Every structure is written in structure tokens, then in C-alpha cells.
Structure 1
Amino acid sequence: MSSNWSLPAAGQLCYDNVNGSCVKMPYSPAPRVLLYTVFGFGAVLAIFGNLLVMISILHFRQLHSPTNFLIASLAGADFLVGATVMPFSMVRSVESCWYFGRSFCTLHTCCDVAFCYSSLFHLCFISIDRYIAVTDPLVYPTKFTMSVSGICIGISWILPLVYSGAVFYTGAHDDGLEDLSSAINCVGGCQPVINQLWSLTYFLLFFTPTSTMIVLYSNIFLVAKQQAKKIENSSSQAQLISGAYKVRVAKRERKAAKTLGITVVAFLVSWLPYIIDLLVDSFWGFITPSYVYEIFCWFGYYSSALNPLIYALFYPWFRRAIKLIITGQLLKDSSLTIKSSS
């Protein structure tokens, strides 16, 4: 990752009287308060917003479906970004120092990578789910079952956790860059250096699911147009009746695909600058200033906070579920069967 090659204006240290302490670059009081407010708001929104999504889907039986379980699991990954990654990154970004120890720095980095890639994998599987639902809506329930959804959820969690643990706990990420890594990660620093091999792997792990999602969502909207034209050209009464049913099903699935497509676009826009910077930096000698690196990081983190806002804007069932939760109806014995959508 990027390093800070510029000398700070002030000569403060992260740890006074500690040999090898990093130099601290403190903000003035006003920017400091502003940054804590902006970053803290993102963390709170990611935690409580995604918690509401998980509670809504897991509690109300009407919302139990393969797609919604994928969405709930995605919310779980975003929740963990807000709860375990963003608060500590907030202190690092504002204070320009890491006060939580070297061991926790490694764990924090693993969680950062694992949970963010878990979100990406979830979105990729959701795009596959939506593609099947739109292109073949009548047989979709037999193709994408609860067990298939469970397998997708398992893969979305296991692969990122194994990958991040293998890369950062083995030290493979900075092979060949040990001297640079030691210089950057002084006492009070937590900025892992990624060599060219693993930065390229990073990019490919991001690019492959991303390309898959772009292709699938492009096909979804092409198929949706073809379906509409086919129904319009139906001549017989039987075709019209059958077509009308297919239109209703396809319309519902297209609406869900559109909402989740917006979620995908938000994720890609948020994380693409960071991924590109990571790749360019490793091949161009880590030229990105540390404050630019932090900005790119927080663009990505905020994608975990955006999803609940998207659901609130486009999913009536989520707004209804929030209302039921806030009004305390969740505590009633009959709340499991309450309709969360009209």
C-alpha cells in the first residue's frame, strides 16, 4: 500500500521517548473534529443500518428467501466493516498514528481485506441470482434454492478469510520489500506494503467478479427489453394470459435487479479508486501521499454504509420493517408472521 514520503511540519512523535516511534502529523482542532464526525457517522451508519437489514430479513418469515438471505449475509459483512474496521481506521486516519499494537494491526488488515472482498463476492452471487430470476423467472425457484444460497454465502465468507489470512499472517504481502516495510511501519504505524505480485492478485480478485457483474446486469436489462417486446406481440388469448403472468413476475424481478444493480455500482465506484491506486503504487514506487491513500480507503469504507440507504430508498419492505422494529412490534409473539411489505 501507499506510504508517506513527505516530512511532517511538526516534530511530534506517536510515542514520546520510544526509539523508532513514527512521526505524528496532527490536525488543527477544527479539521480534527470534522474528520471524526464524518468518519464516525459512516461507522455508525454502517453498524446500525446493516444491523436493521439483518434483523428485518432474519426475523420476518415473509422475507425468508434465497436472495434475501444473501442480502442479509452481505449486510453482515458490511456490519463487520463498520464495527471492526472503521473505528480503528478512523483513529489512524485522524491521529496519523496506530495505537493498538502490531498484532492487532495485522488482524485489522486481515479483517479489512476479508470483509470488503466478502461484500464483493456476495454482490457477485447476487448478480447471478438476479440473472437467473430475470432470464428464467418461472423455473428460478427450482434453480436457486436455499441450499444453493447457503453454498454461495459459505464461499463468500471462507475464500476471503482464507486469502487474507494467508497473505498477511505469512508475510507474503511484502516479500522483497522488507526494508521498505520496516521503514514505514515504525512504532505507531500500521500501513502494510503490498508487493507487485499481490497487488496484481488484489486487482484480479476485484476485476474478475466486477466483470462478471457488469456482464450479467447488462444481459439482465437486455433480456428484460426482449421480454417486454415479446409480450406486446402476443396474439392469442392464452398467450396474453400466460404473458401477463410472466410480465408481472419479470417486472418484480427486474425491479429487484435494478435496486441491487445500484448497490453494485455504488460498491464499484467506492472501491475502484483504491484498487487502481494500490496497483499503480506497487509498480511506480509507492508515490501516493498518505492522505490520498486514506481518502481512497474511506471512499471504500463508506460503501458499507450506503447499502442500507439504498434499501430504504428502493425497498418498501425495508421501510416497513424499520417501522415495525422502531415501534416495538418486534417484541410481540406474533411478529414473526407480520407482513413487512404491503
Structure 2
Amino acid sequence: MNLCLSGSPEAVAVCFESLNGSCLRSTSPLALRLSLYFLFTSIIVLTVTGNLLVIVVITFSQNHFSAGTNNLILSLSVAGLVLGGFVMPFSMVRSIESCWYFGHVFCCLHTTVDIILCNATVWHLMFISVDRYVAIFYPLHYHNRMTNKTFVAMIGSSWGLASVFGFATIISDPQVVIRGGSNKACVGGCLSLHAREIGMEYALFFYFIPVSVMMIIYGRISFIAQRHTKAIHSNTNHANPSAPSTAKDFKATKTFTIVVGNFLLCWTPFFMCNIIDPLVGHTICALLYEGLMWVAYLNATFNPLIYVFFYKWFRETAKVLLSKLFIQV
């Protein structure tokens, strides 16, 4: 990956002036750096508070989801909470300062957690789409098919697959060679997940396959949504126990479709850039990678906002819980 360090020699510094072999550090005006710190800190605070609010609301409220769906949403929100509270603050420093000041061991830990959380998010969304598929197409058999064991297997496999790949990536110690050199040869460097040459297999298994499954499922649901809605209305005056449930599930599925759309908008540019970069000799600018990485992180920021804007019960429950909290304080 091309660092794209441009400008006069005076515009380039090193991460550790007292150490030989220190990585280069691109300098920028103080006003710009402070503005970026303010922007990224705001994103971090919004991500942490938003996902924490989802966790609290889902845990302490009666909502329209099944217990298994609740657990999937909770697990997804935990991933967003950890991403905002643990990964993003250190990524902020690395992005703005273009240096890693926290040591090699913590670099490996940070990168591993980053990979695990991002991959787990993909698999959670895919399993949520499967849950919506069963709820829409098999409403009368939903509780028989989507049992507690099924949801435990979904959540466990999401975290398990992501963890295996995350640790395997670190153990294999991939390097990105840039014009005859390696980013990892200098002191003060820490390649994040977006800078690692992890190949087409990664993009295929952890992005394109889950995304293809989600698009097929939601595409089929959208195709029959109008027909099902007409059937529901025509059976309003008849004793059809599945009709209210199906209408409710369609509404929930519509919101989850927006959640998936948010994921695609945030993550697709990063994955496409990650695939193209090795094909063009790692000449894509590091600044572009950093920007796309933060766009991808915004997925965890926007998810709670979607629940706030599209679920009235969520807003009402959040208001009640927050009012009780402030009254007690």
C-alpha cells in the first residue's frame, strides 16, 4: 500500500526520532489534526452510547422481536460497542498521527479484535436475514425451526468463524510489500486489517458469500412482500392467526433490510479497494484506505440510529429508561 507521503523533505518526520529505523510520519497542520480528533471522538462517543442504548433497551423492554432475534441484535450491538470503545480510539490516533505508539504486542491484539468484530458483524447480519426469511415464509413453524439452540449456534458460529480467521491472520503474519520494502520493518508501524494482504479468499468467504445470501433472501422477501400484504388485508376479517404475525414480521424485515443496506454502503468500498490494491501493485494511497476504514466503522455508528428512527417502541422505551436514569441521578 502506497503511503502517499508527498511534499518537501521538511514535511516528513519520523514516529520516534531517538530510534533508528523509525517509520515515517506525515505531518499536517495542528488545526486540521484537532478538527480530526474532534470528528473521530464524536463518532466514537456516538458509537458507544448508541450501541449501549440498544443493549439496554433490548434487555429491559418488551419489544416485537422473538427472544432469539433479540439475542442476535444484542450480540451485534456488543460487537459495535467493543468496536467503538476499544478499536476506534487507537485507530483514531494511528489515522491522525500516522504512527503506532502502543507497542507491537498491543498492535497484534488491536488488529485481531478489529478483524474479529468486523467479520462477526457480517455473519450476524447474514443470520438475521435467515431469521427474517423463516419468519416471513414459515410464520406458523417459526418457533419450531428457530429454537434457542438454533440461535445459540448462529451466534456461536458468527463469533467462532470470525475469531478463527482473526487469530489465523495474526499467526500467519501477512506482510504488504511496498516498492521493495515492508511496512512492518520500521518502528512505529501497525498494519490494520485493511492494510493486510489477506487475499480474495477473505473477501469471498467473509464478505461476498454472506452478502450474496443476504441479498438473495431480502430480494425474495421484497418480491413477494406486496402479494403477502394483500393476502393479509384480505384475511383481516377471518380467523387467520398468522396474519398479524406476518404483518409485524414484514415491518421488522423492512427495518433489517435498511440495516443490511447500511452495511453494504459502509463496507463495500473498503472491500473493493482491498481487492484492487494487490492487482495494481499496492499503489493505492494509504490516505484513501484510512478514509474507507472509517466509513466502514460508521456502520456500527449508524445501526443504533436506524432503530431509533424506524421503531416507535424503541424511542418510547429509550425515553422511559433515560428519564428513570436521570431521575435517579
Taking structure 2 as the reference length, the TM-score comes to: 0.90
Aligned residue type for 2:21? G
1:100-138 CA deviation, whole Å, 9 max, x = no partner? 111111111111111011011100000000011111212
- Which residues in structure 2 correspond to 1:1-342 (within 5 Å)? 2-7=1-6, 9=8, 10-60=11-61, 65-171=67-173, 173-174=174-175, 177=177, 182-183=182-183, 185-191=185-191, 193-195=195-197, 198-204=198-204, 205-231=206-232, 240-243=237-240, 245-328=241-324
Partner Cα distance (2:77, 2:181) in 1: 34
Percent of residue pairs bearing the same amino acid type: 35
CA distance in 2 between partners of 1:283 and 1:183 (Å): 18
| C-alpha distance after superposition, 1:20-43 (max 9, x if no partner) | 111211221222122111111111
TM-fit CA distance, 1:321: 2.4
Distance 1:7 1:185, change over 3 A: farther
Separation in 2, partners of 1:115, 1:3:
26
Please say if residues 130 and 217 of structure 2, whose CA atoms lie closer than 8 Å, have aligned partners that are also in contact: yes
| Cα distance change, pair 179–212 in 1 and its aligned pair in 2 (3 A) | same
Query: CA shift at 1:229, angstroms?
Result: 3.7
SS at structure 2 position matched to 1:12: strand
- Read off the aligned partner of 2:80 and give its amino acid letter: D
Q: Is the 8 A contact 2:13 2:25 kept in 1?
A: yes
Contact 2:4 2:287 in 1 (8 A): no
Partner Cα distance (1:179, 1:109) in 2: 24
Q: What amino acid is the match of 1:160?
A: A
Cα contact 1:50–1:76 (8 A) shared by 2: yes
CA–CA separation in structure 1 for the residues paired with 2:115 and 2:237: 50
Q: Unpaired runs of 5+ in structure 2? A: none
RMSD between superposed Cα atoms in Å: 2.4
Task: Report the residue type matching 1:154 in the other structure.
Answer: G
Name the CA distance, whole Å, in 2 between partners of 1:179 and 1:169. Answer: 24
Query: Which one is further off, 321-330 or 97-106?
Result: 321-330
- Alpha-carbon distance between aligned partners in 2 of 1:49 and 1:100, rounded to the nearest angstrom: 27
Letter matched to residue 241 of structure 1: H
Deviates more, 1:29-38 or 1:117-126: 29-38
- Quick check: 1:106–1:169 contact (8 Å CA) kept in 2? no
In structure 1, distance between residues paired with 2:244 and 2:278: 50
- CA shift, 1:217, in A, is 0.4
Distance 2:18 2:232 in 1: 77
Taking the aligned partners of 2:87 and 2:2, their CA distance within structure 1 comes to 20
Q: Distance in 2 between matches of 1:92 and 1:132?
A: 43
